[in-house]
């Protein structure tokens, strides 16, 4: 049985997107599971109010095509997300407008306008035994997780698993970085969110037509890969997506967390994949890598010391910083101050959540690898297969 499908999609033109959807969904019976009257939520990645050309958000052309197909089968379609920032009509509508999502209304889709919040108890979770999520998901009969393939300062990669962090209302996201301050705990929390909604999540799709490399997930550079990926499993999809940009599960904490729970194998080679993802793989994709799990070396005390020597950290580029204060307002621990018009980070208190880097509107906050990591890993391009 096919676990992941990958199909070529050279651009976002209507004809090319339609052809790519036919191919990538065929192994899963297309959308035959959709019944008339079913309410389907498309959980897009709308992280910030950037235009589609910035490659930070799911492209509207893909969402529109999916809306067309779903409404054609008689489904009610809601497109939504909770971006970083206020979870209010004014803020989210600004994001809808900037990302081009209003186009979905021409294809029968409806943008979410319910800003309620629901408290969840999840005792079987590994980390997130209780959390708050966006209430509009309660009324979904099915969820389609439609992510964007990007690099990510904290998790190495943002794709299907990371996309579900968007179920947490934007203003509460910093709290979750405080509750789960290290990479492993944060990854377990993300897997918990995916597992909580697993019975409703019928399909995961990844926009890898134009991905983001470098200083992702918002300040990197667009990189054309020319593919769409689909899978019923967010973990299997992410394994293929990681392989596409030259990463392994060791580079992506969410994949490590999924592997530990038996939700995914150790590598994409162990999956049944329809389509050769390696043919879309560039030799020089720029990603954010740092040795993971190094803090386990030599016990707790020595591990922390070694971890500091190797872990990446956010660093403001003085030549690009505008002193706007968004990073200081976003920091969950409040360890960033604006002094003399520039951002300054209290290194002793920084938990390396990279919220400042993710939401810096000028792209001035960069991910810097530690000196020891730079000496051992001389270049950032993707590993060659």
- Give buried/exposed letters for 149-162 (b at 16+ CB in 10 A, else e): bbbbbbbbbbbbbb
Query: Is-cis flag, bond preceding 217, omega within 30?
Result: yes
Judged by DSSP in three states, 354 sits in coil
pLDDT beyond 70 at 308: no
Kindly tell me the number of DSSP H helices and DSSP E strands found in the chain.
12, 15
Sign of CA dihedral 265, 269, 274, 280: positive
Q: What is the pLDDT of residues 171-230, one digit of tens each?
A: 899 888 889 988 899 999 999 999 999 999 999 999 999 999 999 899 899 999 999 999
Per-residue pLDDT, averaged over 315-341, amounts to 88
**What was the pLDDT predicted at 370?**
55
Distance, CA of 37 to chain centre: 30
Q: What is the pLDDT confidence band of residue 289, given thresholds at 50, 70 and 90?
A: low
Mean pLDDT of the chain: 89
Per-residue pLDDT, averaged over 365-376, amounts to 60
Tell which phi-psi region holds residue 62, choosing left (phi > 0), alpha (psi between -120 and 50) or beta: alpha
pLDDT beyond 50 at 301: no
Percent of the chain with pLDDT over 70: 89
pLDDT beyond 50 at 383: no
Cβ pair 106, 68 in contact under 8 A? no
- Domains of the chain by start residue, with CATH: 4-280 (3.40.50.11440), 294-376 (3.30.70.20)
Q: What is the pLDDT confidence band of residue 299, given thresholds at 50, 70 and 90?
A: very low
Going by the DSSP 8-state scheme, the letter that residue 370 receives in this structure is -
Neighbours of 172 (CB within 10 A): 14
Per-residue pLDDT, averaged over 248-252, amounts to 94
Tell which phi-psi region holds residue 161, choosing left (phi > 0), alpha (psi between -120 and 50) or beta: alpha
**What was the pLDDT predicted at 329?**
85
Q: What is the pLDDT confidence band of residue 298, given thresholds at 50, 70 and 90?
A: very low
Q: What is the pLDDT of residues 128-182, one digit of tens each?
A: 999 999 999 999 999 999 999 999 988 999 999 999 999 999 889 988 888 998 8
Q: 342-345 and 76-80: which strand pairing? A: unpaired
Q: What is the pLDDT of residues 10-35, one digit of tens each?
A: 999 999 999 999 999 999 999 999 99
Q: What is the pLDDT confidence band of residue 311, given thresholds at 50, 70 and 90?
A: low
- What is the rounded CA–CA span in Å between residue 44 and residue 220? 19
- What is the rounded CA–CA span in Å between residue 321 and residue 123? 43
Q: What is the pLDDT confidence band of residue 369, given thresholds at 50, 70 and 90?
A: low
């Amino acid at each position: 049985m096919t676990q992941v499908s990958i199909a070529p999609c050279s651009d976002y033109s209507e004809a090319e997107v339609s052809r790519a959807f036919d191919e990538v969904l065929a192994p899963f019976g297309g959308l035959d599971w959709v019944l008339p009257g079913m309410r389907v939520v498309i959980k897009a990645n709308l992280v910030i109010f950037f235009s589609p050309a910035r490659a930070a958000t799911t492209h509207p052309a893909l969402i529109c095509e999916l809306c067309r197909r779903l409404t054609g089968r008689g489904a009610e379609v809601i497109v939504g997300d909770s971006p970083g920032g206020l979870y209010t009509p004014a803020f989210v509508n600004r994001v809808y407008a900037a990302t081009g999502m209003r186009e979905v209304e021409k294809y029968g889709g409806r943008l979410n306008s319910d800003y309620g919040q629901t408290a969840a108890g999840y005792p079987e979770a590994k980390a997130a035994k209780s959390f708050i999520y966006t209430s509009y998901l309660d009324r979904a009969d099915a969820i389609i997780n439609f992510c964007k393939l990007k690099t990510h300062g904290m998790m190495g990669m943002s794709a299907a698993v990371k996309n579900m962090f968007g179920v947490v209302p934007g203003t509460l996201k910093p709290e979750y970085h405080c509750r789960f301050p290290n990479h492993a705990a944060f990854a377990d929390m993300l897997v918990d969110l995916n597992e909580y909604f697993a019975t409703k999540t019928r399909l995961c799709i990844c926009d890898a037509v134009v991905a983001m490399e470098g200083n992702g997930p918002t300040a990197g550079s667009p990189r054309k890969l020319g593919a769409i990926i689909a899978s019923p499993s967010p973990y299997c999809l992410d394994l293929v997506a990681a392989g596409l940009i030259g990463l392994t599960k060791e580079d992506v904490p969410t994949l490590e967390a999924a592997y530990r729970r038996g939700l995914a194998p150790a590598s994409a080679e162990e999956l049944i994949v329809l389509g050769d993802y390696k043919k879309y793989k560039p030799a020089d994709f720029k990603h954010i890598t740092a040795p993971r799990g190094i803090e386990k070396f030599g016990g707790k005390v020595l591990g922390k010391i070694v971890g500091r020597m190797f872990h990446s950290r956010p660093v403001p580029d003085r030549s690009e910083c505008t002193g706007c204060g968004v990073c200081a307002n976003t920091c969950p621990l409040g360890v960033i101050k604006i002094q003399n018009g520039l951002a300054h980070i209290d290194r002793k208190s920084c938990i390396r959540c990279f919220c400042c880097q993710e939401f810096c509107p000028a792209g001035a906050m960069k991910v810097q690898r530690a000196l020891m990591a730079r000496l051992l890993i001389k270049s950032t391009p993707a590993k060659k297969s």
